[in-house]
Chains A and B, each alone.
Chain A
Amino acid sequence: MAYFITHEVGSLAKPNWRVKAGRGVPFTEQDVKDAIAWGQRLGLDHQPLLEILKKKKLTPKDKEEVMTWASKYALRLIEHAGVDIVYDGEQNRSEMYQHAVANSEGFVFRGLVRSFDNKYYQKAACISEPKVKKPWHVEEFLQLQKLTNRKIKIPITGAYTIAAWSFDEYYAKQGGELGSLKGFASREKARRQFILDVARNLLRPNIQKLLEHGASWIQIDEPAATTIPSEVPLFVESFNESIKGLKGEFSVHICFSDYNLLFPHIQKMENCSMVDLELANRDSHELGTKEGDRPGYEILKQFRKYKIPSRIGLGVTDIHNDFIESPELIRDRILYATNVLGDAALVNPAPDCGLRTRTWEVAYQKLANQTSGSRLAEKILDQR
């Protein structure tokens, strides 16, 4: 009998009461109403949270408890939607790049850089060999373990992305002079050293600590994997270095990227159980499983062609809009992928990426339909 193991990918929006507690901003009546409504809907005994939300000023302990409640709510939302592999949607993290860099030695924030229009991000520079200041996600994992009985997947920002989103003021000093081949070669060498040091010195110890504390599945997030096409082999090398000698389940999430650039290089990824992809965003909303019906999932043919052994984290819901994919549409996406890959066990349905830009209502419906769609697909496969 077929069974599609579903999972989530990372972030979920933070409830207003959690954001306000973090910022020290007073709660509104609406915040309390939301906490009650979702608490009731998710079957949580939320009275202790309401007691805190009634307070005019929160103590540090109160704030800590609100954060735990946010994790509890988020986990329960994901469980309630029927997702198999769970996480709390980064309720206790700030942002994927800043969080990693702020907890590492060897980086200093240089200031704001524009991403587009009026959106900016704090960009750091590497100024000495990167080292872990304090393992980033161990406390988070220990907390989550207490809050759920389901299998947890912990996302961690990948080495290549950390390096690609940072300036390099340390290794680049070894770069040679301008305008010469020798200079170009030494710059490339310095770049490789930088990326691999981030993998060995930051990622590996962090992952090791998580495994020591009982984590079993680590998702390495690499949105920058294909940003520099010539460096895709370096991304692969950095993945391998990040998990070298470690025992656990390791997967990679790559989104909003040109997936064609991954081939053939990802054949060299070692011990990568799953490649998690954003695909729904590129697909049609029409039903159908025939050739040409699912343009967003065409790339899967490359995975088959290159005999990539990893499972596919199949993005079946678009995280950038409120369109609620029907169970039937999700079913067809799963069936098409199963057909292309030739094995239902290789398909793990998921949202395209973290759902943090969606409301909880929309996120919940998308996740719930992901579950229903998976069950519909199983039914059809079982009848064949």
Chain B
Amino acid sequence: MAKIQTFIHGVYPRSNPLAQVTREVDRNRKTQTDLKKQQLVDIAAVLKVQKEANVAFVEDGKLQWQDIFRPLVEATKGFEVGPLTRWFDNNTFYRQPIIVGKLRLDAKKLDTFLGDLPKGKGKVTLPSPFFFAKVTEDRTTKSFEKTLSAITALYTDVVSYLVKKKIAVIQFNEPYIPYHNIKKAEIALLAKSLATLKKVKGDTLFAVQGYFGDTAPLVAGLSGNKAVDLLGVDFVYTQLASLPKKFSHGLIAGIVEGRNSLLEDKKALVAFVEKVAKYFPKTDIYLSNNSDLDLLPETVAKEKVQLLGEIAKHFK
């Protein structure tokens, strides 16, 4: 059996104290210093829970991020922050990015949104360039391909910056393709964008995780793509039997549900992971949350990360 490890991805929920401080800052009852202080406490807690779960790579939880796009939008000239938009079929919203000019990254500004991560073990999740381009309103062009090209160019700078920071894994989250059941021809546009980014990735691993729908078409579309080191499956919505047996990537197995507080049964998950490992006998598997954990209260998310750790430990 190949290695079975674990890690998490995406935006992690804020604790009650942090949520409270953010509210108080909005009401001018607390200062940015108070907020920074509480964020550091929370980031330390997120790192601790991952350490205890013995994760292969560590994320900072993105506790300063207002949504998955905002730091990238705020750190890039040429973007504007747009209207509140529903986050797929959830009771949660993000602000739509709007392109109003040529995109130019201010890496220093982006850095203020990134927590300190252990060198060689750090992991950062970004929205996939395809997803980013799909949800962005581009006032400079009506061509989706041109928008994707602009985002890919921006990501070249973002990835270069993260590589320089010795980030070990950059994960591109891609809920758009599974949710909207996007076909092969369009998935090829994501593959092309990733191929462009491969040129600057150095030793950093690229991961792609689909969720909120059947991820089999996305896996089929990216299978064998040399830019992708780890490829993710949302097993809440994807049949194991629909995945290609020939798999040349590490597998991110989204087995813990990021949208329901019900804590999964450990025994059932162990049995399922055994099935997955049998299906992909030569593949390294990273057990993970299927979607971002920030749709859960922080206490529940913590339990889910602990559960991932326990299951990975079972296979050690």
A interface residues, Cβ below 8 angstroms from B? 110-118, 120-121, 123, 125, 164-165, 167-169, 172-173, 177-181, 184, 224, 227-229
Question: Looking at the complex, which of B98-106, B111-119, B143-151, B231-239 is the stretch in contact with chain A?
Answer: B231-239
Interchain nearest-CB distance for B258 vs A (Å):
11
Q: A111-B16, A114-B14, A125-B262 are in contact. Are A181 and B90 (CB under 8 A)?
A: no
For A181, the chain B residues whose CB sits under 8 A away are 239
B297 touching A110 by the CB < 8 A rule?
yes
CB closest chain-B residue, reference A108: B261
Interface of A is mostly: mixed
For B271, the chain A residues whose CB sits under 8 A away are 177
A111 touching B299 by the CB < 8 A rule?
yes
Query: In residues 222-251 of chain B, which contact A (Cβ within 8 Å)?
Result: 235-241
Q: A114-B14, A118-B25 are in contact. Are A179 and B297 (CB under 8 A)?
A: no
The one of B14, B91, B95 in contact with A115, judged by C-beta atoms closer than 8 angstroms, is: B91
Interface string of B1-37 (1 = CB under 8 A from A): 0000000000001101001001101100000000000
The distance in angstroms between the C-alpha atoms of A106 and B269, with both chains bound, is 26
Interface string of B124-153 (1 = CB under 8 A from A): 000000000000000000000000000000
* Given A118-B23, A167-B261, A178-B269; 17 other pairs, CB 8 A cutoff: A111-B16, A111-B300, A112-B298, A113-B297, A117-B66, A125-B262, A164-B91, A169-B260, A172-B262, A173-B262, A177-B268, A178-B235, A178-B255, A178-B272, A179-B235, A179-B239, A227-B90
B262 touching A179 by the CB < 8 A rule?
no
For B296, the chain A residues whose CB sits under 8 A away are 110, 113
Interchain nearest-CB distance for B252 vs A (Å):
14
For A121, the chain B residues whose CB sits under 8 A away are 91
Does B69 belong to the interface (CB within 8 Å)? no
A227 touching B91 by the CB < 8 A rule?
yes
Does B42 belong to the interface (CB within 8 Å)? no
For B14, the chain A residues whose CB sits under 8 A away are 112, 114, 120
Interchain nearest-CB distance for A289 vs B (Å):
28
Give me the 6 closest cross-chain CB pairs, A-B, nearest first. A111-B297, A179-B240, A118-B22, A167-B261, A116-B93, A178-B235
Q: A111-B299, A227-B91 are in contact. Are A116 and B238 (CB under 8 A)?
A: no
Q: Which of A111, A121, A164, A178 has the most CB of B within 10 A?
A: A178
Does B276 belong to the interface (CB within 8 Å)? yes
The distance in angstroms between the C-alpha atoms of A184 and B13, with both chains bound, is 27
B89 touching A116 by the CB < 8 A rule?
no
Interface string of B287-316 (1 = CB under 8 A from A): 000000011111110000000000000000
Query: In residues 154-176 of chain B, which contact A (Cβ within 8 Å)?
Result: none
Interchain nearest-CB distance for A278 vs B (Å):
14
The distance in angstroms between the C-alpha atoms of A165 and B92, with both chains bound, is 10
Interchain nearest-CB distance for A353 vs B (Å):
15
The one of B84, B89, B261, B298 in contact with A125, judged by C-beta atoms closer than 8 angstroms, is: B261
For A173, the chain B residues whose CB sits under 8 A away are 262
Interchain nearest-CB distance for A146 vs B (Å):
36
CB closest chain-A residue, reference B233: A179
